[in-house]
Structure formats: C-alpha cells, structure tokens
C-alpha cells in the first residue's frame, strides 16, 4: 500500500518535470503539442476512491497550470478526465478477478485494453483542453486539426512509456 503511494508520488514529480521542461518546448509544425502528463491520472490504481481521485486530478492540473500560466485550464480538463476514467473503468473492468491492488498498466491489462483506454481518455481530455483554451467558434477547424495531431503524439508517447516499463507477469 505505502509502496503504491510512493510510486505514484514519484511518478507525479517525474512526469511534471518532463512535461514542463521537455514537452513544453516540443511542437511539431506549430500543430502537435504533447501532454503525456495525464498518465499521472490514468495510471492511478483501480481501487483509488473517488474522494482521492478528484483532488489528485485537480491538483495535477493546477500544477501544470502554474507552469503554463493558464490557471484553471488544465485543472478543468483533468477533472473531466477523472470523471471519464471512472465511467470507462466501470464499464470495461470487472474488479473481482484480481488478487492485489491492480493498476491500469500495459503489463497487467494487456495491449488491447490499454490502447483503447489511453486513446479514448486522451481524445476526450485534449478535445476539451484545446477548445477551452481557444474558446472561439471561428477557429474550430484549425483547433480540430491541432487536437487530432496532438492526441496522436500524446498517445504515441504514452504507448512508448508503457512499453518502456513493461514487465512480463502471470495474468
């Protein structure tokens, strides 16, 4: 239990560091901006109670906001992400079949589930984030292209990180 908390706190600091000092400076053709920091929320254990999940998501968003000078923007998107995460897990996962605190990682859940999971949640998070940032109907088409390409980039990075920490386990 305490090991799980330690790992998640560590993951928080590492991902925020990479997001703020590395990915903030990466853009492909002024269109594609990756936000892989949402892994902090995606990789919390299944058993996380809602009363913990939402504050964690909110604080993660505010931390990113502090570095990006956009107070509230990422916090709003992350809170939505937490809500969608709960619904998605409720629909697709049976909680009884596991032994000790399972986490939604690639090694435990398998490629197909993990890919669908990060794809759906990234799309929703990015769509909300980009449209809230621009908040203008006249730029909708351009925002849509940015949203799609950024989601692609983020999903790619998250799959890479999933493979990087892949541990083969008995299922």
Partner 1 sequence: MRNLWIFISKYNAFFLFVIFEVSALFILINYNSFQKATYISSSNQITGLAYQKVGQVTEYLSLATVNDSLARENARLRSELRSSFYIDTLTKKSIADSVYKQQYTFIVAKVINNSVNHRNNYITINRGSKDGVQKDMGVICGSGVVGFVVNTTDHLANIQSVLHKKTKVSAMLADTRDLGSFLWGDNLDPHQGLLIDVSNNVKPRIGEAVVTSTLSSLYPAGIPIGKISNLHAKEGGMFLNMEVSLAVDYSKLEYVYVVVNRLAMEQKQVEATRVKDE
- If 0-12 CB within 10 Å is exposed, 13-18 middle and 19+ buried, where does residue 6 land? exposed
Contact between 68 and partner 1 by CB under 8 A: the answer reads yes
Q: How far is the CB of 125 from partner 1 (least distance, A)?
A: 13
Span 125-154, contacts to partner 1 by CB under 8 A: 132-134, 136, 138-139, 142, 146
Contact window for partner 1 (CB under 8 A) among 83-91, 106-114, 117-125, 157-165: 83-91
Q: What share of the chain is helix, strand, coil (3-state, %, to 5)?
A: 75, 0, 25
Q: How far is the CB of 25 from partner 1 (least distance, A)?
A: 8
Contact between 124 and partner 1 by CB under 8 A: the answer reads no
Contact between 61 and partner 1 by CB under 8 A: the answer reads yes
Contact between 123 and partner 1 by CB under 8 A: the answer reads no
Contact between 54 and partner 1 by CB under 8 A: the answer reads yes
Backbone region of residue 32 per phi and psi (left: phi > 0; alpha: psi in -120 to 50; beta: other values): beta
CA-to-CA separations, 101 to 46, 105, 106, 151, in angstroms, rounded: 7, 12, 15, 29
């Amino acid at each position: 239990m305490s090991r799980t908390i330690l790992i998640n706190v560590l993951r928080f600091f590492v991902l925020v560091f990479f997001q703020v000092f590395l990915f903030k400076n990466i853009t492909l053709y002024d269109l594609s901006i990756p936000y892989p920091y949402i892994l902090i929320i995606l990789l919390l254990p299944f058993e996380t109670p809602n009363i913990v999940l939402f504050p964690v998501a909110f604080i993660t968003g505010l931390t990113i906001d502090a570095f990006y000078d956009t107070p509230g923007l990422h916090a709003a998107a992350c809170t939505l992400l937490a809500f969608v995460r709960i619904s998605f897990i409720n629909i697709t996962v049976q909680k009884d079949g596991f032994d000790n605190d399972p986490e939604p990682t690639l090694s435990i859940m398998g490629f197909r589930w993990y890919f669908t999971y990060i794809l759906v949640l990234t799309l929703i998070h990015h769509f909300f984030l980009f449209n809230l940032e621009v908040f203008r109907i006249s730029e909708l088409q351009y925002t849509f292209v940015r949203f799609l390409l950024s989601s692609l980039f983020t999903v790619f990075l998250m799959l890479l990180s999933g493979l990087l920490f892949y541990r083969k386990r008995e299922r």
